[in-house]
Amino acid sequence: MRPLGPRWLSGFLVCIACSTAFADEVQVAVAANFTAPMRLIAAAFEKDSGHKVALTFGATGKFYAQITNGAPFDVFLAADEQTPARLEKEGAAVHGSRFTYATGKLVLWSAQPGAVDAQGAVLKTGDFKKIAIAAPKLAPYGAAALESITKLGLLSRLEHRIVVGESIGQAFSFIASGNAELGFIALSQVYENSQIKSGSAWLVPRSLYGPIRQDAVLLGKGAGNKAAIMLLAFLKTENAKVVIRSFGYAP
pLDDT per residue rounded down to tens, the chain (251 residues): 445 454 544 444 444 444 444 679 999 999 989 999 999 999 999 999 999 999 999 989 999 999 999 999 999 999 999 999 999 999 999 999 999 999 999 999 999 999 999 999 999 998 899 999 999 988 889 999 999 999 999 999 999 999 999 889 999 999 999 999 999 999 999 997 778 889 999 999 999 999 999 999 999 999 999 999 999 999 999 999 999 999 999 87
Whether 19 maps to a domain, the answer reads: yes
Other C-beta atoms lying within 10 Å of the C-beta of residue 166: 18
Strands (E), 127-250: 131-134, 162-165, 182-186, 191-192, 195-196, 200-203, 212-218
Both 146 and 80 in a single domain? Answer: no
Note down the domain range covering 145.
Answer: 106-203
**Which CATH number belongs to the domain containing residue 23 in this structure?**
3.40.190.10
Beta bridge partners of 195: 192
Same domain, 10 and 99: yes
Q: Is residue 251 part of a domain?
A: no
Q: How many structural domains compose the chain?
A: 2
User: pTM for the full model?
Assistant: 0.81
How many helices (H) and strands (E) in the chain? Answer: 10, 12
